[in-house]
Amino acid sequence: MKISVRNSAPRRATGELMGVALLALLILIVLPLGLDGFRLNMVGKYLTYAFVALGLVLCWGSAGILSLGQGIFFGLGGYCMAMFLKLEASSPEATKIQSTPGIPDFMDWNQLTELPWFWEPFHSLPFTLLAVVAVPSLLAFIVGLAMFKRRVGGVYFAIITQAFAAILTILIVGQQGYTGGINGITDLRTLNGWDIRTDGAKQVLYFVNAALLIGAVLLCLFVRHSKLGRILVALRDKEDRVRFSGYDVANFKIFVFCFAAALSAVGGAMFTLQVGFMSPSFVGIVPSIEMVIYCAVGGRLSLLGAVYGTLLVNWAKTLLSESFPELWLFAMGALFIGVVMVFPNGLAGLYQQYVAPRLARLFPRAVPRVGEVIPPPTAAE
């Protein structure tokens, strides 16, 4: 028995690393070889949502904190990136027909005559890259600090994060002159002079994005296998017990919430780069809760499952809304209900239950595992 203590963890880790390798093989080699530029760009877009889903696996799956406001962080990351790109696209020469040249076009349309102060620092790329992660993390930190220190959790946290998503959307839409309003920030062209609209650039960005995602998966695996990861699971089960084992529980929740926010923000920034615009329609209540379903379909406890779930749901969404748009909401609704009532562990759970045992019989030595599946708590409170 004592021997197994020393050995089981490494074996599990090897299995998971093989799973990551398979994912890398798929998104770095198989898909780029098999898909045309247009479809590949689309997959790249889907993969940016996978960052959000990864964050949710840790935040919701492990720690039991359901945030319905991940779109906020995805959006903020995306907006930070978009602000930089927009400023670069709004050089005085490019905008000389405006009444105030040198500011973004939508500001000119809204009778602004000077760049707002908070846009100024986004002339700098290093600042922008920092802001992509720092701004959303800071917001998550403030929200987390206020809520978790006061022990607000469960459904209250979910509702309040949802309210934040609503507030931010209304704010962005209402403050057209500063944010581009409902249309968002569009017509983005170059990144430090490099045209991001060409097919070649899109391909490069796809690979950057895919590599970042693999990095994010590995980082999440590290967090989950650290003691911190086990503490998150522990506090989902018995928060008081963790507290009375000498931990300041709120700090752990704040950390995982900020971590999820930062991941989402990276996804958002990559979205802006690959798709070429950012708008409030990725921030609000509806996109935020849709991001939860990506994670749930993959299996809320499985990091790799979250990536596959995101790909699958978005692929289905594109397919259905191309041919049967009216069916999409039915399918989406059914997914929400099904994932809760029929297969709470999502794809990863199905894999564990049906595929893994067969694979294990075929290849008794090494079977990649799609994450570690722990049944969800019966009471999420």
Q: Could you tell me the smallest distance in angstroms from the CB atom of residue 4 to other proteins?
A: 5
CA distance 265 to 31: 24
Residue 193's nearest CA partner among 203, 181, 201 is 201
- Of 140, 339, 348, 370, the one binding other proteins by CB under 8 A: 339
148 part of the interface to other proteins, by CB under 8 A: no
Residues within window 29-88 making contact with other proteins, judged by CB under 8 A: 64, 66, 68
Q: Does 162 bind other proteins (CB under 8 A)?
A: yes
Position 326 contacts other proteins (CB under 8 A): yes
| Nearest residue to 122 via CA among 159, 86, 154 | 86
Site for other proteins in 128-147 (CB under 8 A): 146-147
Residue selected from 166, 191, 204, 214 as contacting other proteins according to rule CB under 8 A: 166
- Measured from the CB atom, the residue of 79 and 206 that comes closer to other proteins is 79
Cα–Cα dist 127/133, whole Å? 10
Is residue 219 a contact residue for other proteins (CB under 8 A)?
A: no
Smaller CB separation from other proteins, 66 or 266: 66
Say how far apart CA 54 and CA 220 lie, in whole Å: 7
Rg of the chain (C-alpha set): 22
Q: How far apart are CA 337 and CA 131, in angstroms?
A: 37
The pair of structure tokens assigned to 62 is 């492990």
Residue 120 interacts with other proteins (CB under 8 A)?
Answer: no
- The region of 48-56, 275-283, 313-321, 369-377 touching other proteins under the rule CB under 8 A is 369-377
In the set 200, 237, 357, 360, which binds other proteins (CB under 8 A)? 237
| Dist CA 281 CA 184 (whole Å) | 8
> Rule CB under 8 A: is residue 206 a binding residue for other proteins?
no
Buried b (16+ CB within 10 A) or exposed e, 366-381: ebbbbbbbeebeeeee
Does position 211 interact with other proteins (CB under 8 A)? The reply is no
